[in-house]
Amino acid sequence: MGQVPAATRALRVLRFLAGQPEPVPLDRIARACGLPRSTAYHLVTAMIEEGFVVHLPEEHRYGLGVAAFEVGSGFSRQEPLQLISRRTLADLVDLTGQSAHLAVLHGRDVLYVVEERAPGRPPLVTDVGVRLPAHLTASGRAILSALPAAQVRALYPDPAAFVDRHGTGPRTLSALRSVLSETRRRGHATEEGEVTPGFASVAAPVLDHNRHPVAGLAVTFASGPDTGESVHPDALAAEVRRSAGALTQRLGGPA
């Protein structure tokens, strides 16, 4: 924890609430953020006074306030992550000849914020502004693999949280945990045909100075015996990890 523990805890609460699809009870905030219930209560009370959190007394739940939205809007206006990453993605496309994109976590989805399409490659569903289920995408799996287990559990509390696109991919928390464990072991995430049949992706997480995953960086390529191309996923993954590492360092994250 940083030199200002209260600020660190408050930011942890904000980050958790930002990842939830709806307001949550205080006990869930305390568990997910590793805080005593009394500490969580005092934090959210102070954050309510500043407008960053709202309390829904009838439901005994807490959600993000208008001030948090204003901060998010400021980020959207400045687009620092997009500006920093665009050159890296362009270099990755030039090196691999495949399309690359950057996505951020938005609840249980990933939101694509940058796409660099390789010349002559077909358009993908991962266009800027598109949202897809995080547990099915390589970008989402890369991000989820670097999150605390409690936060992943909060995002996927039951089987109903698992959206199905093409009948493949994890459908339970235990299955997702297995995918994320393998992702951490390899150092990169993969998916094949789970987002779009005939296409596969490899991705790696981009971390900030707190080792928190702020984005997933991925390359998508045609897969299957009828592509007429010779693609080496391991070589692509190595370049994706290198590019994600370069962005991580630019954000003050670990080398």
DSSP strands (E only) in the chain: 53-56, 61-64, 99-106, 109-116, 131-133, 189-192, 199-207, 213-222
**How confident is the prediction for the chain on average, in pLDDT?**
87
What is the number of H-type helices and E-type strands within the chain?
9, 8
Give the span between the Cα atoms of 103 and 203, in whole angstroms.
Answer: 10
Say which range, 26-30, 50-54, 127-131, 134-138, has the weakest mean pLDDT: 127-131
How do the domains of the chain map onto residue ranges? 5-71, 79-250
93-100 long-range Cβ contacts below 8 angstroms, 24+ apart:
93/117, 93/118, 95/239, 96/219, 96/236, 96/239, 98/219, 98/220, 98/221, 98/231, 98/236, 99/124, 99/219, 99/220, 99/221, 100/217, 100/218, 100/219, 100/220, 100/240, 100/243
User: What pLDDT, on the 0 to 100 scale, is given for residue 127?
Assistant: 74
pLDDT tens digit sequence for 21-30: 889 999 999 9
| Domain 79-250 in this protein, CATH class | alpha beta
| Domain 5-71 in this protein, CATH class | mainly alpha
User: What pLDDT, on the 0 to 100 scale, is given for residue 227?
Assistant: 59
pLDDT tens digit sequence for 161-208: 898 877 788 899 999 999 999 999 999 999 988 888 888 999 999 998
pLDDT tens digit sequence for 51-105: 899 998 888 999 988 788 777 656 555 567 888 888 999 999 999 989 999 999 8
Q: Judge if pTM exceeds 0.85.
A: no
CB 28 within 8 A of CB 151: no
User: What pLDDT, on the 0 to 100 scale, is given for residue 119?
Assistant: 85
DSSP helix/strand/coil, 207: strand
